[in-house]
């Protein structure tokens, strides 16, 4: 598939994700971490306009100069921007106007991509743009779930959504990994993000890791045992978080007449006890592991062992801080702001989730979030 076809495919999937929404769904921002869907639609369009069309397509006329201020996310190099908490205040531009902007840029991109051979620099930026939009496709799905899951009516996103079947190995033994020196980090000529470089050696003590993710049924045992009320299993910051926010269960769980329900893309449903637990914070993952007398794997343990278990249903919390690999260097300009400046105060997640875009996951992928966040499809794999 050539670059032009890849562009169309990626852009089409974003619109398919939003095809189930009503106009009002596009504009809601319940919390700072969740962006309105219409902002995502505008932002990924702004990315191609800003980093491809404006610098490389001679004669291109910018759609609206104000959109740089509206749809810039965090690129200081590119200029001022609407602060993240105010994205939900943008009643204008309207949803219709943002889709008009999207079509304008798509038409210009089609002309650009068919006007001649692309330089290697432009090809690399295009591939980064595809991966950037795929990241926002996942964010769209998780943000939409938060928006609808915090609507008092718990409306369904789509009754056609199919959640992948839980893949649990019965009576599975922990996988043993011998001590030794292992190589981690991306290797090859295909695309990766800069935070996956450079490939390097790490020493690991012998460890064991579960082939299964923790299920809802297993996590319910922690709840019923009073896990949310026993400080012994929590970091001090986690214990403060639990008590300040009155956390009693994973996000989207609701105890109704002594029965547990959770919000899904089909609406409010009884908790499926066989599915991997999800929408939990690092604090909760750590506390559960502590309650079990076990721990979370480090990201290097996870990467080394991942070939021996199935992964991809949940982003898996690790015990690793999000830090640069040896020799990491930020690229010049705005592109260098993509990952490096976030390497403080965050935890690494490995794997992928059921809403990760197709072909967007790999064993070296390093996702990262603050330890209290849980609107993503986050889960637990235990180690010892």
> Over 80: is that where the pLDDT of 79 sits?
no
Structure tokens at 235: 């970091």
Q: What is the pLDDT of residues 122-164, one digit of tens each?
A: 999 999 999 999 999 999 999 999 999 999 999 999 999 998 8
Strand partners, 208: 176
Q: Calculate the alpha carbon distances from 204 to 3, 30, 181 in Å.
A: 41, 42, 6
Structure tokens at 186: 């991306």
- Report the distance separating Cα 50 and Cα 63, nearest Å: 11
Average pLDDT over the chain reads 95
- Report the distance separating Cα 379 and Cα 281, nearest Å: 8
Q: What is the pLDDT of residues 255-298, one digit of tens each?
A: 999 999 999 999 999 999 999 999 999 999 999 999 999 999 99
- Report the distance separating Cα 201 and Cα 183, nearest Å: 4
Indicate the burial class of 58 (C-beta count within 10 angstroms; 0-12, 13-18, 19 or more): exposed
Phi, psi torsion values for 247, nearest 5 degrees: -80, 130
Task: Return the percentage of the chain with pLDDT > 90, whole number.
Answer: 87
Domains (range + CATH), the chain: 3-149 (1.20.120), 175-379 (3.90.1580.10)
In which element (H, E) is residue 235 found?
A: none
Indicate the burial class of 242 (C-beta count within 10 angstroms; 0-12, 13-18, 19 or more): buried
Tell me if 143 sits within 8 A of 34, measured CB to CB.
yes
> Over 70: is that where the pLDDT of 334 sits?
no
């Amino acid at each position: 598939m050539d670059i032009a076809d890849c562009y169309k495919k990626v852009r089409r999937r974003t619109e398919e994700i939003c095809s189930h929404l009503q106009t009002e769904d596009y504009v809601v921002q319940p919390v700072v971490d969740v962006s309105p869907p219409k902002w995502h639609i505008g932002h990924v369009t702004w990315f191609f306009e800003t980093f491809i069309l404006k610098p490389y397509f001679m004669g291109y006329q910018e759609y609206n100069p104000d959109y740089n201020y509206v749809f810039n996310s965090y690129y200081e190099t590119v200029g001022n921007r609407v602060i993240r908490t105010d994205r939900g205040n943008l009643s204008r531009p309207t949803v219709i106007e943002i889709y008009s902007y999207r079509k304008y840029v798509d038409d210009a991109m089609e002309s650009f991509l068919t006007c001649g051979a692309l330089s290697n620099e432009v090809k690399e930026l295009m591939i980064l743009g595809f991966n950037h939009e795929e990241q926002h496709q996942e964010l769209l799905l998780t943000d939409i779930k938060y928006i609808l899951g915090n609507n008092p009516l718990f409306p369904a996103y789509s009754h056609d959504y199919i959640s992948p079947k839980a893949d649990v190995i019965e009576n599975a033994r922990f996988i043993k990994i011998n001590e030794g020196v292992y190589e981690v980090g991306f290797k090859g000529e295909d695309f990766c993000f800069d935070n996956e470089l450079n490939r390097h050696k790490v020493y690991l003590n012998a460890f064991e890791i579960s082939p299964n993710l923790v299920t809802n049924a297993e996590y319910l045992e922690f709840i019923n045992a009073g896990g949310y009320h026993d400080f012994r299993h929590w970091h001090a910051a986690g214990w403060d978080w639990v008590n300040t926010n009155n956390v009693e269960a994973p996000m989207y769980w609701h105890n109704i007449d002594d029965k547990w329900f959770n919000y899904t893309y089909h609406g409010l449903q009884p908790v499926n006890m066989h599915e991997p637990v999800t929408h939990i914070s690092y604090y909760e993952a750590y506390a559960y592991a502590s309650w079990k007398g076990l721990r979370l794997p480090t990201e290097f343990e996870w990467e080394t062992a991942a070939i021996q278990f199935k992964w991809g249903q949940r982003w898996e919390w690790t015990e690793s801080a999000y830090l640069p690999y040896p020799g990491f260097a930020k690229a010049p300009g705005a592109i260098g702001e993509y990952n490096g400046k976030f390497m403080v105060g965050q935890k690494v997640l490995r794997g992928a989730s059921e809403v990760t875009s197709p072909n967007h996951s790999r064993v070296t992928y390093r996702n990262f979030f603050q330890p209290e966040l849980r609107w993503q499809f986050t889960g637990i794999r235990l180690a010892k």
